[in-house]
Amino acid sequence: MAAIDVRHSYVLRRIGKSLITLYLVISLSFFLLRYMPGDPIQAYIQNLMTTQGLSYNDAQAQATSLLSFSPQAPIYSQYLQYVGNLLHGDLGQSITSPGTTVSGAVFHYLPWTLFSAGLGTLIAFTLGVVLGIVTAYRRGGAADHLITNVSSLLHAVPNYILAMLILVVLGVRFALFDITSMRGTLTPGVQVGFTAEFFGDVLYHAGLPVLVYALTGIGSWVLVMKSSTVQVLDEDFVTVAKARGLRTGRIRLRFVGRNAILPLFSQFALAIGTAVGGSVVIEQLFQYRGAGFYLFDSLTKRDYTLTQGFILTVTVSVILANLAADLLLSRVDPRIRATGSEA
């Protein structure tokens, strides 16, 4: 009974901390965006006056009618209205793209980021686990030195540096691929559906971001899996399994591999959330039209509501990934729950 109470207490405490973090990010982003230089509403009013020949009062009335808040209202009143709308699931409408709901834009572009970041992280995780086991079993050999050194290098290089190198060296210098045709998420004219043409085109456009996510992520997985495998190899139960005469393949898979990979699953959830949060620069470099690309675009246009919507999405993805990682790790190692309950 006490173990159940400790587990529930730990889970509730982690959820509470996640909600507090989410509230702080929402509040901070709201006030920071509104105190940034530039006024998108006035810019939109000027655009209406220029393109439609409206007077300032008529343009202001039309612009205000399209907003989900009053730009003349005090900042605290706008904040309370924004938080109240969030509690009802209303993210508002875009300022610079009238008629576009923030939730619609987020749900339209987020899947592309989840696909590219998730696929790249999955590839890095799979290859990293395999190579990590290889280096652990061949410690001190040529393969160990080569894979470990390359992994350390990839782990140290920021993803945006690698992305620029790929674009400049492989794309421009050697022209190994057509940078222009790979922009965007889907070729115009390709119909969405369960067809080979659709999936092939999606992979074609997402290829470079996926490659960057995979290459910059694989190094850490190799190093972590190698360290975890080496630690498990020194455990007593592995020695006992060898003494019992069990087959080498069974020992490697059932006793070593399974126990070495368990702590990595919690880190995998966190890696996906981090990749989504770090997609802004990668998607800008490759012109990949995902959530990160439009977060940067809305920020440069000072579109408060759209920027807040994308920041909220990225924040939620990172917080959920952290929460999932904590809960998975506590499930694997109950000592974490016990330690957390004492804190």
User: Average pLDDT of the chain?
Assistant: 82
Strand partners, 101: 93
d(CA 96, CA 93): 9
**pLDDT of 342 over the 60 cut:** no
Bigger pLDDT: 69 or 32? 32
Identify the band that residue 68 occupies on the pLDDT scale cut at 50, 70 and 90.
low
Looking up tokens 């790790």 gives 329
Looking up tokens 């399209």 gives 66
**pLDDT of 258 over the 80 cut:** no
**pLDDT of 4 over the 60 cut:** no
Residue 234: its pLDDT value, please?
77
Residue 3: its pLDDT value, please?
47
Residue 343: its pLDDT value, please?
45
111-304 folds as: MetI-like fold (1.10.3720)
Sign of CA dihedral 37, 41, 45, 48: positive
Bigger pLDDT: 325 or 127? 127
**pLDDT of 202 over the 90 cut:** yes
Residue 314: its pLDDT value, please?
82
Residue 260 contacts residue 238 (beta carbons within 8 Å): no
**pLDDT of 315 over the 80 cut:** yes
> What is the torsion angle, in degrees rounded to the nearest 10, for the CA atoms of residue 310, residue 205, residue 221 and residue 138?
180
Residue 282: its pLDDT value, please?
92
Which segment of 16-30, 38-52, 61-75 scores lowest on mean pLDDT? 61-75
**pLDDT of 204 over the 90 cut:** yes
> What value does the mean pLDDT take over residues 165-192?
88
The pTM of the full predicted model, rounded to 2 decimals, is 0.81
Which segment of 16-25, 222-231, 285-294, 317-326 scores lowest on mean pLDDT? 317-326
Residue 266 contacts residue 326 (beta carbons within 8 Å): yes
Convert the pLDDT of each residue in 123-159 to its tens digit: 999 999 999 988 988 888 888 899 999 999 998 999 8
Convert the pLDDT of each residue in 22-46 to its tens digit: 899 889 888 887 777 666 677 667 7
